[in-house]
């Protein structure tokens, strides 16, 4: 074996030599495995990600400590006392424990169903600067709903483990009788993953769970229409967005503030804001907008929050339109914000992102096991009691004999064995008989106790049936959820508004309007060039292999529509794009418009006043004529799905403002000419259209364009009076320019 080359480097300082000798090389993979991974898993499993009961370990340790202190009933105690006792389970310092208590408190208003009944200043979730008082000044106890959180915890419904120093036991989960994981909003950042769970209304969650247990195919939206937040606000409901969140556990939806206008005082009062922001952040942003001259309608904005709740007051200038101002503020501040969802939950110690239905499925399975453990606990206790009473029943046959055995036994240690032999009972039964008080050794007492045997046997039979019946356990869960629904009525705080019903005002007065020319290349590069720039240089630059697809004159304040090959339409303002030069490549639309992967633009359109029609010709020989008004929206939506039929790829898209002739060609050399008046317009965007060209098997339409843009001279040969038609073979004299265009393609 070759010797390892010795390090011959000399050191003047002997301490450096000793330090160098202590350094041991270690592969980075081994370092990650032995040091980093345990830390990462500890943060994920033991700190940041909630479990199926809806709690993180810090929440669970705090609430269980309060439960052990008897704070489910009785009066409140100082928060400092609770924090101190919680440190027996949670050794992370009093500040972290108190912050956890604050978030769970009713005073802080971060939860729809708070678990801590608080007294004193606990701050507010909607305020960044309203600090909570120190723990020595505040008091707390458990809220009444915690009775459902700790229901039957003494009956072995959940596993109990040693605390960090092994001196006491604590539960791994809390046996919540309702799906708290959906009711309580929760967020956490772990290592390499995060969790963001929005809250839902307690009654709606219970009702949904009941219906889901009865019918797994239940439409969740019927009973759980949208999330709910303690700060209220308006949830802007988009069915497709919410369906995606419910199905995958990922996505986002918009929430905006609620406000009212007081005409007498010319004031706007904002009284509910999104859960994701604070009143100070809103005021700071509005002040910045006023300072930069982007908002001129406001005289003053102030925070008038008091004991009655949140209130932000905006003094308007004379003549200001409150509707338009609020629309502008929704666009430019966090008065309208997005709530990102990431339903990442620990299930059996493994993080898992789940949709609402999957969460309900996991919770029901877990709750079923908790009920089964509770029933088994009760069954064992009743069997033990029955066993004792069976022994007592034997004594009933001859009480005098039992007394005689006890009196005739010289040693105390022999009393139990003698009773066992005398009556044929086991040691447990004999111990029970031997412990009966002298006053209870009478026929009346024994008869009363033995009368319980029949009732006990019935109860044991019933519990045994429950233990073996999934249907019975499901019925118990449903009954408990119904009781919770009746006992804890929690009205919805966040109202639901539908995105199509919201009128949004475009800031057209803020956009400088001037003439421009728009260019779109085949590969999706877009340019907006001013008239002056175009006069200076008109030679357009494109990437290698790219060329012009369409161009037309427009204005900076107008709208432009982009139609894609995935049946989607993107609606933009020309002002959304920066002015550029002919020598630049321009903006790459798939990136600029955040298109889906693999999606590309097939048409650029100037909608004007939306009075025109859209003609789409498909590969399968059909053509659809759609009123452009079908794409006009009152909202500021940038993306419209299902813009046209997906039954066949689109070959050509053109705007029609007056009837005109169109030439359609197939890949077998045939062409036909028809007038757009032969196709009736439709208001449905996804119409499949009507047959225009009859195609043989394996053939398809490859081109459709206005007749005036083609080289066709003998139009009578190709014109058809009725549709569909096969068309005629294109003659050489009518195809010269088309062949050139084919070569260019």
Residues 470 and 383 in one domain: yes
Residue 5: predicted pLDDT: 44
Strand pairing of 250-256 and 234-237? antiparallel
For the cut 90, the answer to whether the pLDDT of residue 739 exceeds it is: no
Same domain, 317 and 395: no
Report the relative pairing of strands 77-78 and 116-119 from DSSP bridges.
unpaired
pLDDT attached to residue 434: 82
**Cβ partners under 8 Å of residue 319, min gap 6:** none
1: confidence class by pLDDT, cuts 50, 70, 90: very low
> Could you give the angle at the alpha carbon of 538 between the alpha carbons of 533 and 543, nearest 5°?
110
Cα separation, 85 vs 62, whole angstroms: 9
Question: Does 422 have pLDDT greater than 90?
Answer: no
The answer as to whether 7 is a domain residue is: no
Identify the pLDDT of residue 6. 45
Q: Which of 570, 597, 624 is the last residue of a domain?
A: 597
Cα separation, 23 vs 10, whole angstroms: 16
According to the 3-state scheme, what is the secondary structure of 596-628? CCCCCEEEEECCCCCCCEEEEEECCCEEEEEEH
pLDDT digits (tens, 9 = 90+) for 456-488: 999 999 999 999 899 999 999 999 999 999 999
* Domain membership flag for residue 319: yes
Give the tokens for residue 376: 């088994």
3-state class of 552 per DSSP?
strand
pLDDT at 745 over 60: no
Residue (of 667, 674, 661) closest to 620 by Cα position: 667
The question of whether 98 is a catalytic residue gets the answer no
Average pLDDT over residues 592-621: 91
Q: What is the pLDDT of residue 84?
A: 94
Mean pLDDT of 239-268: 94
368 lies in the same domain as 434:
yes
SS3 105: strand
**Residues 543, 588: Cα–Cα separation, whole Å:** 11
34: tokens are 């032995």
Q: Which residue(s) pair with 655 in the sheet?
A: 614
Task: Give the max Cα distance, the chain.
Answer: 133
Which of helix, strand or coil describes residue 243? helix
Residues in CB range of 493: below 8 A, 6 or more apart: 112, 201, 228, 229, 230, 231, 232
Query: Is residue 80 located within the same domain as residue 54?
Result: yes
637 in the same domain as 664: yes
Q: Which long-range contacts (CB under 8 A, 24 or more apart) does 416-421 make?
A: none
**Residue at 477 is within a domain:** yes
- pLDDT cut 70: percent of the chain above it: 93
Domain holding 529, by residue range, is: 506-597
Same domain for 172 and 58: yes
The number of distinct structural domains making up the chain is 5
**Tell me, what's the pLDDT at 150?**
95
> What are phi and psi for residue 621, nearest 5 degrees?
90, 5
Residue 184: the pLDDT is 93
Q: Which of 487, 519, 545 lies at the terminal end of a domain, its last residue?
A: 487
Q: Residues near 350 by Cβ (< 8 Å), separated by ≥ 6? A: none
Q: Please say whether the beta carbons of 395 and 443 come within 8 A.
A: no
Q: How many helices (H) and strands (E) does the chain have?
A: 24, 33
Q: Residue 633 — φ and ψ, nearest 5°?
A: -125, 150
- Reference 493, options 256, 233, 197; nearest CA is 233
Which pLDDT belongs to residue 463?
A: 93
Structure-model confidence comparison of residues 321 and 392, the more confident one? 321
- Would you place residue 207 in the very low, low, confident or very high pLDDT band (cuts 50, 70, 90)? very high
Portion of the chain with pLDDT greater than 90, in percent: 55
Element (H, E) at 725: none
In a domain, 602, yes or no: no
Euclidean distance between CA atoms 336 and 387, whole angstroms: 66
Flag whether 24 is in a domain: no
| Other beta carbons less than 10 A from residue 726's beta carbon | 15
Confidence (pLDDT) at 20: 53
Determine the Cα–Cα distance for residues 275 and 271; give it in Å rounded to an integer: 13
pLDDT in tens, 427-455: 888 888 888 777 777 777 777 777 788 88
Confidence bin at 507 (pLDDT 50/70/90): low
- The arithmetic mean of pLDDT across residues 342-352, rounded, is 91
| pLDDT at residue 635, rounded to an integer | 58
Q: What does each C-alpha distance from 148 to 179, 368, 467 come to in angstroms?
A: 11, 15, 22
Both tokens assigned to 719: 């014109």
DSSP track, 564-588: ETTS-EEEEEGGGS----TTS--EE
- Distance in angstroms (rounded) separating the CA atoms of residues 501 and 328: 17
Count Cβ atoms below 10 Å from residue 706 Cβ, excluding itself: 15
- Of the candidates 29, 492, 450, the one whose C-alpha atom is nearest the C-alpha of residue 223 is 492
Q: What is the pLDDT of residues 142-192, one digit of tens each?
A: 999 999 999 999 999 999 999 888 899 999 999 999 999 999 999 888 777
Three-state secondary structure of 67-133: HHCCCCCCCCEEHHHHHHHHCCCCCCCHHHHHHHHHHHECCCCCCCCCCEEEECCCCCCCCCCCCCC
* 387 in a structural domain: yes
Do 171 and 151 lie in one domain? The reply is yes
List, as one string, the DSSP characters of 141-184. Answer: EE-TTHHHHSTTGGGT-S-EEE-TTSSSEEESS---SS-HHHHS
DSSP assignment of 296-354: -SEEEEEE--BTTB--EEEEEPTT--HHHHHHHHHHHSTTEEEEEEE-EEEETTEEEE-
Q: Specify whether 739 is located in the same domain as 612.
A: yes
pLDDT band at 268 (very low <50, low <70, confident <90, very high): very high
- What pLDDT, on a 0 to 100 scale, did the predictor assign at position 504? 63
Give the count of beta carbons closer than 10 Å to the beta carbon of residue 227: 24
Other C-beta atoms lying within 10 Å of the C-beta of residue 423 = 19
Closest to 329 (Cα-Cα) out of 291, 299, 290: 290
* Residues 716, 734 within the same domain: yes
Catalytic residue among 137, 164, 498, 514: 137
513 and 478, same structural domain?
no
Q: What is the spatial distance between Cα 292 and Cα 561, in angstroms, rounded to a whole number?
A: 31
Is the pLDDT at 4 greater than 50? The verdict is: no
- In this structure, what CATH number is given to the domain that contains residue 636? 2.120.10.90
| pLDDT tens profile 62-101 | 999 999 999 998 899 999 999 999 999 988 788 999 999 9
- Res. 510: pLDDT tops 80: no
3-state helix/strand/coil string of 410-469: CCHHHHHHHHHHHHCCCHHHHHHHHCCCHHHCCHHHHHHHHCHHHHHHHHHHHHHHHHCC
CA 331 to chain centre: 22
Burial class (CB in 10 A: 0-12, 13-18, 19+), 340: middle
pTM: predicted TM-score of the whole model, two decimal places: 0.65
Residue 540 lies in a domain: yes
Mean pLDDT over 573-591 rounds to 89
pLDDT > 80? residue 37: no
- Tell whether 568 and 521 lie within a shared domain: yes
Out of 498-507, 559-568, 663-672, least confident range: 498-507
What CATH number does the domain containing 379 carry? 1.10.268.10
Q: Rounded to whole angstroms, how far apart are CA atoms 51 and 186?
A: 10
Q: What pLDDT is stored for residue 411 in this prediction?
A: 86
Residue 561 tokens, joined: 């529509």
What is the rounded distance in angstroms from the CA atom of residue 191 to the CA atom of residue 606? Answer: 48
What DSSP string describes 248-291? HSEEEEEEE-EEEEETTTTEEEEEE--TT--HHHHHHHHHHHHH
pLDDT greater than 50 at residue 11:
no
Burial 400-421 (b: 16+ CB within 10 A, else e): eebeebbeeeeeeeebbebbbe
Same domain, 320 and 421: no
Of 487, 516, 531, the residue at which a domain comes to its end is 487
Q: What is the mean pLDDT of the chain?
A: 87
CATH number at residue 111: 3.90.199.10
Name the band, by pLDDT with cuts 50, 70 and 90, for residue 738: very low
Q: Is residue 347 part of a domain?
A: no
Strand locations in 191-249, DSSP E?
194-197, 234-237
Distance CA 677, CA 628 (A): 16
């Amino acid at each position: 074996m070759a010797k390892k080359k010795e390090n011959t480097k000399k050191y003047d300082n002997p301490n450096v030599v000793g330090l160098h000798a202590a350094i041991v090389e270690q592969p980075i993979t081994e370092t990650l495995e032995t040091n980093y991974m345990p830390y990462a898993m500890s943060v994920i499993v033991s700190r940041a990600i909630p479990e199926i009961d809806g709690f993180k370990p810090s929440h669970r340790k705090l609430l269980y400590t309060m439960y052990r202190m008897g704070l489910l009933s009785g009066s409140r105690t100082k928060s400092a006392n609770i924090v101190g006792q919680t440190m027996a389970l949670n050794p992370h310092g009093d500040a972290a424990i108190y912050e956890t208590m604050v978030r769970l408190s009713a005073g802080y208003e971060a939860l729809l169903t708070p678990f801590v009944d608080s007294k004193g200043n606990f701050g507010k979730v909607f305020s960044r600067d309203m600090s909570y008082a120190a723990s020595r000044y505040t008091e707390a106890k458990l809220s009444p709903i915690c009775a459902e959180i700790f229901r039957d915890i003494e009956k072995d419904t959940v596993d109990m483990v040693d605390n960090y120093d092994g001196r006491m036991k604590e539960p791994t989960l809390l046996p919540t009788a309702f799906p708290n994981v959906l009711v309580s909003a929760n967020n956490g950042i772990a290592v390499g993953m995060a969790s963001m769970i929005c809250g839902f209304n307690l009654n709606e969650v219970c009702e949904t769970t009941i219906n889901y247990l009865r019918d797994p195919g239940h439409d969740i939206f019927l009973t759980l229409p949208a999330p709910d937040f303690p700060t209220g606000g308006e949830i802007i409901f988009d069915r497709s967005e919410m369906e995606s969140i419910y199905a995958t556990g990922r996505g986002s939806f918009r929430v905006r503030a609620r406000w009212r206008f007081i005409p007498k005082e010319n004031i706007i009062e904002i009284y509910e804001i999104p859960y994701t922001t604070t009143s100070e952040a809103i005021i700071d942003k509005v002040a910045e907008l006023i300072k930069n001259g982007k908002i001129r309608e406001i005289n003053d904005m102030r925070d008038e929050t008091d004991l009655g709740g949140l209130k932000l007051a905006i003094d308007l200038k004379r003549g200001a339109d409150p509707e338009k101002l609020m629309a502008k503020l929704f666009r430019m501040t966090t008065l309208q914000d997005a709530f990102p969802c990431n339903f990442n939950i620990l299930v059996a110690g493994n993080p898992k992102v789940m949709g609402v239905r999957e969460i309900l499925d996991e919770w029901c399975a877990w709750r079923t096991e908790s009920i089964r453990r509770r029933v088994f606990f009760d069954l064992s206790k009743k069997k033990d009691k029955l066993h004792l009473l069976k022994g007592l029943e034997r004594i009933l046959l001859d009480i005098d004999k039992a007394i005689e055995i006890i009196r005739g036994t010289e040693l105390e240690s022999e009393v139990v064995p003698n009773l066992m032999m005398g009556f044929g009972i086991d040691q447990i039964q004999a111990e029970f008989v031997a412990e009966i008080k002298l006053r209870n050794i009478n026929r009346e007492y024994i008869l009363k106790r033995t009368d319980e045997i029949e009732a006990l046997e019935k109860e044991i039979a019933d519990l045994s049936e429950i233990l073996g019946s999934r249907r019975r356990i499901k019925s118990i869960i449903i009954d408990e959820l119904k009781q919770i629904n009746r006992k804890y009525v929690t009205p919805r705080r966040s109202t639901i508004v539908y995105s199509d019903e919201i009128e949004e005002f475009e800031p057209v007065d803020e956009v400088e309007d001037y003439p421009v020319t728009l260019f779109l290349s085949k590969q999706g590069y877009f340019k907006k060039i001013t008239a002056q720039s175009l006069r200076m240089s008109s030679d357009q630059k494109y990437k290698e292999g790219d060329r012009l697809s369409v161009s037309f004159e427009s204005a900076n304040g107008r709208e432009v529509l982009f139609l894609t090959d995935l049946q989607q339409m993107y609606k933009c303002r020309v002002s959304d794009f920066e002015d550029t030069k002919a020598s630049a490549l321009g903006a790459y639309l798939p990136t600029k418009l955040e298109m889906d992967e693999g999606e590309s633009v097939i048409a650029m359109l100037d909608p004007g006043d939306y009075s025109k029609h859209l003609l789409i010709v498909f590969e399968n020989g059909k053509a659809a004529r759609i009123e452009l008004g079908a794409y006009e929206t009152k909202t500021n939506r940038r993306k419209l799905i299902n813009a046209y039929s997906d039954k066949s790829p689109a070959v050509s898209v053109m705007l029609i403002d007056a009837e005109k002739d169109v030439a359609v060609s197939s890949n077998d050399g045939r062409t036909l000419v028809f007038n757009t008046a032969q196709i009736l317009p439709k208001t449905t965007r996804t119409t499949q259209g009507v047959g225009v060209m009859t195609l043989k098997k394996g053939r398809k339409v490859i081109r459709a364009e206005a007749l005036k843009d083609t080289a066709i001279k003998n139009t009578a040969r190709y014109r058809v009076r009725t549709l569909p038609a096969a068309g005629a073979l294109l003659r050489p004299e009518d195809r010269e320019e088309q062949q050139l265009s084919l070569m260019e393609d």
